[in-house]
């Protein structure tokens, strides 16, 4: 089963910056909270870009150079101010303690369960543990053995296991170690039987992609530069192959634009290669950006020893295949939106792939296909209406299909770790139901409690209710909205509310349990807007919040905010909005479009400066999603998406906190930072505008100690500004 992966400055200013930064740090420690909210001074520069006859000012362009000491000092001053403010909010640390206590109730959480040659490998994180460890069992019910504890990997470093890939014979595991929220890891090969690392070491890789069938070599991602903040870091990536014991610096280039000019791989496309164990005849290559539609190649596995391989096209982006591709017999199976906005499953012969004339295996339904998975004899197709999921089983021999009777309702997923059997694992979760794992016997159609079951009851969550409604959008489209609150809550507008949204890449915000939702137990309404640009209602819903239609994303969010106010769930003085990553477009444009609707907002590692998105390290690869300033139509759309460009002097903006990860390779801290700078210099509301910098984090991190404190700070800021009594500073 192949699945998608992986300006000059005055000398006086340079000298003065550290001084005012130091003075500010001292003031934060000594002054009352209301006196410490004067933001650090932020200069402006005369930078303009002219595209297609229109000139756009960018007075905060200088903030983009994170290597500049002046920029680093500006962020440090912002961080010092913000950290001092957050430390004065009493409810923040209480939230951290609450989540830590709830986390300790977990028996364990399992991830990346993999079966190789009789051994089951998995990452397990015990309740209360900061990061997960790598384990294995000999057989499904064998004794558990600890393989790798990342705490022992490097002294003085809080390492995490970002990825692991066992060899086909189960004797070795490529483990990717990272720290501080960085997304590129150091790869090491661990010998399972001897409990030692082999000398083979690969630095700064997105991860291993898979092993050769003889377990003597593995494919991995590599780049040309080690500077993760360089604009060239994510360009011209390569898929290399490493044979155990060989010199890593001499590893051959297996798939790239340099070694395979005949494939016309562009610099922004990321190449991958792997061999599907259940279909070993071919090596499968993939080159990708964030575009959902697949671009795949295949080559005879027999050519591995005699490179270069002769690649053939399995599918191009014009074939409109999305998600994974499964192989069985003479056929390749895939999901397509060709003529099917909610997707359908099709297949074509591997001897001559022809997706334009592919055979339909499962036609389009009213709900949307989320994924396909394969066991030995069956294909499993997961559907969702955005809230409730279901799974259809297809007998690959007969073609007959039937819906699986699931043991519980909610968001569902299925995985089949052992391709030699029909034993699978099904997970079910919802906003208020903890994730539960079941072992599923596809032949018998039966469910039993999984050996990896993580079912647990959290005190108080039984007092929460979940409502699923649809809200009329600005153009009449019905926008799904999920609402969580305490039972019996009065709809009189007095409750603080946190509204979340995303709306990008066709990703659905499906219901998923989190102990962070315990915030609702404190009388807070938690709402999730399933806006256009997401995948909740299929391809058409996604493309209705995409590039030139992107305005629907934040307009849907505004409609949901207005609904919550009109129905009494909250009021403008009590409503906070938040958006993460690509959701930075949503939240920055929502509060610049309708600042009157919100008391507070958080732009969490957010894309708040859309016209500059392609000028970050992973920007070129995101052009298919957001567009480029080199196109007149897309440039105009990017301007509409850009929160920084829409900040107006003298507007009454809500309280705002930007959040940036200093090690973030996806959304560098300058993207939310420029938005914060613009609002600080423009707002006339007198409300705080802060920039939180997480120097121990990237786009995200597995470390619970970092994650809990980060999100507790975000909630504390929003609940302070929305008037929650438990989050009001004493002075």
Query: 548 and 647: one domain?
Result: yes
Q: Is residue 229 part of a domain?
A: yes
Q: Is residue 185 part of a domain?
A: yes
Q: CA torsion angle for 173, 251, 180, 156 (degrees, to 10)?
A: 70
Q: Give the model's confidence band at 603: pLDDT under 50 very low, under 70 low, under 90 confident, else very high.
A: very high
Q: Give the model's confidence band at 196: pLDDT under 50 very low, under 70 low, under 90 confident, else very high.
A: very high
Q: Is residue 579 part of a domain?
A: yes
pLDDT 10s digits, 216-269? 999 999 998 888 888 899 999 999 999 999 999 999 999 999 999 999 999 999
Q: Is residue 686 part of a domain?
A: yes
| Mean pLDDT computed over 85-98 | 96
Q: Give the model's confidence band at 585: pLDDT under 50 very low, under 70 low, under 90 confident, else very high.
A: very high
Q: Looking at residue 12, what is its pLDDT?
A: 27
Q: CA torsion angle for 504, 505, 509, 512 (degrees, to 10)?
A: -140
| Mean pLDDT computed over 461-488 | 97
Query: 75 and 159: one domain?
Result: no
Q: Looking at residue 306, what is its pLDDT?
A: 72
Structural tokens at position 135:
């384990």
Q: Looking at residue 731, what is its pLDDT?
A: 66
Structural tokens at position 169:
């014979």
Residues sharing a CB contact under 8 Å with residue 221, sequence separation 6 or more, in sequence order? 6, 205, 206, 207, 209, 237, 238, 239, 240, 270, 272
| Mean pLDDT computed over 392-397 | 98
| CATH number of the CATH domain containing 477 | 3.40.50.1820
Query: 159 and 247: one domain?
Result: yes
Whether pLDDT at 382 is above 70: yes
Q: Is residue 694 part of a domain?
A: yes
Which among 181, 81, 191, 186 is positioned nearest to 136, based on CA atoms? 191
Query: 117 and 236: one domain?
Result: yes
Domain termination residue (choose one: 224, 251, 278): 251
Query: 70 and 131: one domain?
Result: no
Query: 86 and 116: one domain?
Result: no
Q: Is residue 233 part of a domain?
A: yes
Whether pLDDT at 388 is above 80: yes
Q: Please provide the DSSP assignment of 516-570 as one string.
A: GGGGGGGT-EEEEE--BTBSTT-HHHHHTTSGGGTHHHHHHHHHHHHHHHHTTS-
| Mean pLDDT computed over 703-716 | 96
Query: Domain range spanning residue 201?
Result: 107-251
Query: 180 and 82: one domain?
Result: no
Query: 45 and 169: one domain?
Result: no
Q: Looking at residue 11, what is its pLDDT?
A: 27
Find tokens 């603080």 and name the residue: 496
Rounded to the nearest integer, the mean pLDDT of the chain is: 93
Residue 265 to residue 258: CA distance in whole angstroms? 8
Q: Looking at residue 302, what is its pLDDT?
A: 84
| Mean pLDDT computed over 378-403 | 96
Q: Is residue 465 part of a domain?
A: yes
| Mean pLDDT computed over 512-532 | 97
Query: 554 and 687: one domain?
Result: yes
E strands, 420-504, are 423-429, 436-441, 446-449, 464-472, 478-486, 497-501
pLDDT 10s digits, 6-22? 432 222 222 233 333 33
Would you say 325 and 332 are in contact if contact means Cβ atoms under 8 Å apart?
Answer: yes
| Mean pLDDT computed over 582-604 | 98
Domain termination residue (choose one: 208, 233, 251): 251
Q: Give the model's confidence band at 455: pLDDT under 50 very low, under 70 low, under 90 confident, else very high.
A: confident
Q: Looking at residue 3, what is its pLDDT?
A: 65
Query: 543 and 616: one domain?
Result: yes
For the chain, what is the domain count?
A: 2
Q: Is residue 260 part of a domain?
A: no
Query: 182 and 77: one domain?
Result: no
Q: Looking at residue 17, what is its pLDDT?
A: 31
Q: Give the model's confidence band at 29: pLDDT under 50 very low, under 70 low, under 90 confident, else very high.
A: very low
Q: Looking at residue 30, what is its pLDDT?
A: 33
Domain termination residue (choose one: 189, 219, 251): 251
Query: 85 and 182: one domain?
Result: no
Q: Give the model's confidence band at 425: pLDDT under 50 very low, under 70 low, under 90 confident, else very high.
A: very high
Q: Looking at residue 200, what is its pLDDT?
A: 97
| CATH number of the CATH domain containing 199 | 2.130.10.120
Q: Give the model's confidence band at 308: pLDDT under 50 very low, under 70 low, under 90 confident, else very high.
A: confident
Q: pLDDT above 90 covers what percent of the chain? A: 89
């Amino acid at each position: 089963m192949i699945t998608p992966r992986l300006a000059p400055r005055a000398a006086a200013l340079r000298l003065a910056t550290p001084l005012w930064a130091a003075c500010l740090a001292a003031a934060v420690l000594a002054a009352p909270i209301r006196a410490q909210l004067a933001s650090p001074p932020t200069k402006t520069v005369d930078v303009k870009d002219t595209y297609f006859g229109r000139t756009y000012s960018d007075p905060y362009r200088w903030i983009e150079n994170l290597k500049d000491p002046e920029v680093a000092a500006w962020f440090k001053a912002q961080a010092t101010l913000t950290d001092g403010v957050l430390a004065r909010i009493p409810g923040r640390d209480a939230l951290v303690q609450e989540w830590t206590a709830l986390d300790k109730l977990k028996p364990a959480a399992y991830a990346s369960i993999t079966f190789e040659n009789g051994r089951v490998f998995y990452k397990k994180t015990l309740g209360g543990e900061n990061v997960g460890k790598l384990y294995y069992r000999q057989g499904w019910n064998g004794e558990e053995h600890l393989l790798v504890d990342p705490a022992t990997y490097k002294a003085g470093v809080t390492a995490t296991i970002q990825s692991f890939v066992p060899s086909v014979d189960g004797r070795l595991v490529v483990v990717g170690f990272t720290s501080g929220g960085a997304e590129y890891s150091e790869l090491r090969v661990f010998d399972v039987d001897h409990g030692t690392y082999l000398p083979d070491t690969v630095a700064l890789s997105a991860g291993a992609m898979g092993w050769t069938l003889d377990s003597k070599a593995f494919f991995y991602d590599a780049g040309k530069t080690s500077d993760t903040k360089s604009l060239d870091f994510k360009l011209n990536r390569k898929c290399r192959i490493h044979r155990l014991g060989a010199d890593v610096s001499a590893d051959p280039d297996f798939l790239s634009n340099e070694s395979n000019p005949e494939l016309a791989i562009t610099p922004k496309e990321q190449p991958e290669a792997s061999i599907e164990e259940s279909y070993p005849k071919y090596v499968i290559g993939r080159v990708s950006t964030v575009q959902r539609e697949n671009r795949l190649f295949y080559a005879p596995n027999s050519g591995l020893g005699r490179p270069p391989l002769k690649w053939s096209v399995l599918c191009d982006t014009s074939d409109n295949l999305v998600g994974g591709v499964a192989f069985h017999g003479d056929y390749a199976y895939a999901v397509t939106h060709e003529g099917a906005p909610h997707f359908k499953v099709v297949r074509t012969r591997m001897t001559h792939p022809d997706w334009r004339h592919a055979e339909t295996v499962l036609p389009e339904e009213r709900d949307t296909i989320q994924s396909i998975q394969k066991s030995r004899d069956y294909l499993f197709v997961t559907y969702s209406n955005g809230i409730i999921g279901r799974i259809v089983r297809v007998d690959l021999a007969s073609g007959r299909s039937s819906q699986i009777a699931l043991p519980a309702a909610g968001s569902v997923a299925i995985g089949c770790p052992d391709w030699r059997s029909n034993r699978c694992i099904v997970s079910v979760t919802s906003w208020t139901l903890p994730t539960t794992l079941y072992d599923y016997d596809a032949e018998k159609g039966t469910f039993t409690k999984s050996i990896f079951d993580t079912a647990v009851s959290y005190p108080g969550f039984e007092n929460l209710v979940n409502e699923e409604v649809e809200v009329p959008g600005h153009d009449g489209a019905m926008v799904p909205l999920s609402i969580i609150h305490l039972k019996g809550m009065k709809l009189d507008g007095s409750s603080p509310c946190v509204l979340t949204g995303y709306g990008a890449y066709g990703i659905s915000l499906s219901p998923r349990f989190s102990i962070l939702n315990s915030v609702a137990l404190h009388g807070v309404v938690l709402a999730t807007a399933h806006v256009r640009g997401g995948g909740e209602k299929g391809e058409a819903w996604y493309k209705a919040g995409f590039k030139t239609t992107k305005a629907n994303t934040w307009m849907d969010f505004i409609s949901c905010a207005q609904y919550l106010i009109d129905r009494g769930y909250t009021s403008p003085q009590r409503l906070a909005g938040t958006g993460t990553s690509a959701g930075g477009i949503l939240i920055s444009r929502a509060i610049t479009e309708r600042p009157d609707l919100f008391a507070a907002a958080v732009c969490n590692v957010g894309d708040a400066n859309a016209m500059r998105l392609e000028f970050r390290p992973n920007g070129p690869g995101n052009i298919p999603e957001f567009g480029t300033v080199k196109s007149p139509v897309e440039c105009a759309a990017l301007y509409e998406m850009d929160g920084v460009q829409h900040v107006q002097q003298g507007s009454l903006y809500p309280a705002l906190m930007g959040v940036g990860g200093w090690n973030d390779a996806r959304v560098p801290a300058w993207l939310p930072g420029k938005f914060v700078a613009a609002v600080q210099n423009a707002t006339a509301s007198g409300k705080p505008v802060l920039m939180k910098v997480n120097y121990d984090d990237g786009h995200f991190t597995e470390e619970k100690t970092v994650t809990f404190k980060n999100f507790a700070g975000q909630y504390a800021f929003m609940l302070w500004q929305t008037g929650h009594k438990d989050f009001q500073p004493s002075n």
